[in-house]
Amino acid sequence: MEKINSLQNAHVKAWKKLQTKKGRRQQGLYLLDGWHLVNEALKAKQPIKALLITAKQLATKPDLTVFPTVIEISEEVAAHISATVTPQGVFALVPLATSQADPLTDLDLTRPWLLLDNVQDPGNIGTMVRTADAAGFAGVAFGRGTVDLHQPKVERSMQGSQFHLKLISTDLESLVERLHTADVPVYGSELNPQAAQYLDVRAPACFGLIMGNEGNGMRRELLALTDKNLYIPIKGQAESLNVAVAAGILMFGLYR
Amino acid sequence: MEKINSLQNAHVKAWKKLQTKKGRRQQGLYLLDGWHLVNEALKAKQPIKALLITAKQLATKPDLTVFPTVIEISEEVAAHISATVTPQGVFALVPLATSQADPLTDLDLTRPWLLLDNVQDPGNIGTMVRTADAAGFAGVAFGRGTVDLHQPKVERSMQGSQFHLKLISTDLESLVERLHTADVPVYGSELNPQAAQYLDVRAPACFGLIMGNEGNGMRRELLALTDKNLYIPIKGQAESLNVAVAAGILMFGLYR
């Protein structure tokens, strides 16, 4: 088994760069951090290129026959390439899906889609993907301006749900157009006087639901393309709901 | 105006200790960090003891006549006493509510209560308080084992909702007993075979809803005292929902 201990090693330098979108695109790879995500990727039959593992984790005698390549790394290397403060000491290198094919062809239109417009907080994004998974959605679309789906904190907070439903990065205007072509309604979630109370809406089996930026909500241009805007009635004095909580209420409220 | 620049100052040492529960109890005070919380406290007519403010914030010429005492502090002192990485430079010292009175007498029983059992993450707690505010709940009870309600991160993530509804720290078993005495039903949120689908429950105007620990759920002893346990049907492959998202779905689902 190859062993890599030095932060000066060229591989280590390359792995560190996978924390950035540019690094991931240039290498065509992303990194999964920790056994939970690695095991979820295995369960979902993701094509793992290599496993990076510390001596301490090797001592737990995991089954490594499933990995084409296993490289032992030092604790120092693990700490360097991880985006967490206390990494577990196990990582998988996974090829990015080849984005040759247009993600908008071949969409599952039997179930709903969640569309993220300029959402910024990795924790919120991960929680929404996990909730969409739990609610039985077909997938989540990451619009331009939304944090990249392979950003380490986003990967971690999705907790494996990234392998349970379809995640696509796309221009949301094009996706809305595609949904409209198939007579699928798209709902916005901007508080405005024309908004409909979400419980009054009878959503079909497939619809699109757009959640916007934490501070500014949805972009006007996108809002203009929606069929209906939904609001959650606020009874108390809170100015707003956390975006992930609002998404949960709407997803479970609309799709029962 | 008094000016304090040194980290060696006895006041500064005392303020720093307000980050801990022991320090808050010993001094009978807690700290609000940032204009948003300070302004929410003013709006709610909280008895602010003193305002601590940097020269930079003073230069914005805020109206300080409402504060009995104003102390100018250096940026270094601000950074030292704040629990945030980039403090705004304004803090209010607020007396803790005198806990002589039993929080369980004089409960508002016209609207629902959220009960937090061993919830650990300050962000989750703050989000749940904010959601309970938005859902029109009467208050939130912090059970033993749940992070203290005046913990700086909890204060911050409540975003002002702490002044919009009643927050009490109490033994949850006693609170459930008190609610039962008034014929108020208490719902648990533990996934179990006897659980009822939350949408099938017709909740009265006042009820108690218990949310448990992020990893382990509710304590068994408390679960045994509930009238019904509710579950949110999971359609996908996610193992669970984030506790704050689940709380939002249940609060808005039960109390319309």
Q: What is the pLDDT of residue B102?
A: 79
Whether residue A133 and residue B238 make contact (CB cut-off 8 A), yes or no, is yes
For A128-178, write each residue's pLDDT tens digit.
999 999 999 999 999 989 999 999 999 999 999 999 999 999 999 999 999
CATH code linked to domain B2-95: 3.30.1330.30
pLDDT of B211 higher than 90:
yes
Nearest residue in chain B measured CA to CA from A163? B237
The size of the A-B interface in CB pairs under 8 A is: 104
Q: Which residues of A touch B234 (CB under 8 A)?
A: 134
B130 shares contact with chain A (CB less than 8 Å): yes
- Residue A7 pLDDT > 90, yes or no? yes
What CATH number does domain B113-254 carry, 3.40.1280.10, 3.30.9.10, 3.90.580.10, 3.10.20.340? 3.40.1280.10
What percent of chain A is modeled with pLDDT above 90? Answer: 87
Q: What is the pLDDT of residues B95-132, one digit of tens each?
A: 998 766 778 888 999 999 999 999 999 999 999 999 99
Chain A's closest residue to B242, CA to CA, is: A127
| A57 shares contact with chain B (CB less than 8 Å) | no
pLDDT for the residue numbered A97: 82
For residues A142 and A190, the answer to whether their CB atoms sit within 8 Å is no
- Are A161 and B256 in contact (CB < 8 Å)? no
Q: Do B134 and A238 touch (CB under 8 A)?
A: yes
d(CA A202, CA B198): 19
For A69-86, the pLDDT digits (tens) are: 999 999 999 999 999 999
Q: Is the pLDDT of residue B20 over 90?
A: yes
The CATH 3.40.1280.10 domain(s) of chain A lie at: 113-254
Q: What is the pLDDT, as a whole number, of residue A105? A: 83
Q: State whether A242 and B244 contact (CB < 8 Å).
A: yes
Report pLDDT for A100. Answer: 61
Chain A residues in contact with B246 by the CB 8 A cut-off are 248
Q: Where in chain A is the domain with CATH 3.30.1330.30?
A: 2-95
